[in-house]
Structure 1
Amino acid sequence: MVDKIKNVFVSHHHKDDASVDGLSDMVSKRGYKFRNSSIRVKPENQNRIDQGKISERTIKRLLRMKMRWASQVIVVIGKETHQRKWVNWEIDAARKLGKPVIGVYENGLKDQVELPENLKKYGASVVGWRSGSVIDALEGKSKFQFPDGTPFPKAQGGNVVC
């Protein structure tokens, strides 16, 4: 039974697509359903992007449209996420649109990983892969954790969650 439905935009490195599905499955067991407006690029479209056949301006416009619809932006944090130009751009775009940004470490991460710069600046929460932590963050209970779920102090920035 679904108790809550959240419209979200999930920012992620395309290699982490399975984690997007896993995140949705994990919270659904606790009565949450995501309606995810993020983009998953098919291989043939990725080739068109890589070849410059789709302009950055067009991609940014599409991403902003999809983010406007969402109430929150979730960033799936993997080992390479901090290096992804588009993830960092999406976090900044979310901030400009007034969307709370929640970072969720990928399932199975044991070691500390580097966070995207804009997530460090503008994140409302950064939590481990635990349904309770993710749901608390979605409910506006700001938390900052290492991948194993232990807390770390928030040093700078952040969105105000009302």
Structure 2
Amino acid sequence: MGGGGGYGFSPSDKKHLEESAKKRIQEAGEVKMRNVFISFAHEDMAEVNLLRGQSKNDTAELEFSDYSVKKAFNSEDSDYIRRQIREKIKDTSVTMVYLSEKSMKSSWVKWEIEQSKKMGKGIVGVYKGDIPPAQIPSYIKDNVNSIVRWSHNEIMTAVNKASEER
């Protein structure tokens, strides 16, 4: 009748869990989490989702909280959409611009860069591959802290530097 059934943790299990938790807390204190807005063209969603996924991997050196719009706003009211995006950017320290053919032609990406600059955010351009895009528009080149390739170390270094320099 009733009763717990003895499924509790042993004292040695509790001690091991406590030591593990303390170690993870200490390690987490050493890593600075950055709040990042990712600016990209909607057509690049699959690649940006890959970047988001990599940042959540426990073994990745890339550590940031993504404050980007994950799902398109269900509205055709551009003023409403701008307000919502502005709020997302406001809560970040850095805007990361995914540099693709489509994003570099996007009026929304241009607007997000302008807003990020107005709010004093650091801005980092990220490209996939070994060679940066040949034709990066001046509104990007003139407003970014740096342009780096899609590499965990390069992105994290650029994000940290842009956050500190803003």
Whole-angstrom CA distance in 1 between matches of 2:103 and 2:44: 9
In the superposition, relative to structure 1, how do residues 16 and 83 fare at CA in structure 2: closer, same or farther (>3 Å)? Answer: same
Whole-angstrom CA distance in 2 between matches of 1:130 and 1:31: 10
Q: State the identity as a percent.
A: 27
Shift of 1:160: 8.5
Alpha-carbon displacement from aligned partner over 1:29-72 (angstroms, at most 9, x marks no partner)? 33333221111335x93xxx5xxxx3221111111111000111
In the superposition, relative to structure 1, how do residues 111 and 137 fare at CA in structure 2: closer, same or farther (>3 Å)? Answer: closer
Say whether residues 1:161 and 2:143 are aligned partners. Answer: no
Shift of 1:132: 1.4
Say whether residues 1:131 and 2:152 are aligned partners. Answer: yes
Unmatched runs of 5 consecutive residues or more in structure 2: 1-23
In the superposition, relative to structure 1, how do residues 89 and 109 fare at CA in structure 2: closer, same or farther (>3 Å)? Answer: farther
Unmatched runs of 5 consecutive residues or more in structure 1: 142-158
Amino acid at match of 2:119: L
Whole-angstrom CA distance in 1 between matches of 2:45 and 2:137: 18
How many pairs does the alignment contain?
136
Say whether residues 1:38 and 2:76 are aligned partners. Answer: no
Q: Secondary structure at the match of 1:18?
A: helix
Whole-angstrom CA distance in 2 between matches of 1:124 and 1:78: 18
Shift of 1:111: 6.6
CA contact (8 A) 1:13 1:84 kept: yes
Q: TM-score of the superposition, structure 2-length normalised?
A: 0.70
Amino acid at match of 1:65: E
Q: Which has the higher helix share?
A: 2
Say whether residues 1:23 and 2:27 are aligned partners. Answer: no
Whole-angstrom CA distance in 1 between matches of 2:89 and 2:132: 30
CA contact (8 A) 1:78 1:113 kept: no
Quote the RMSD (CA, aligned, Å): 2.6
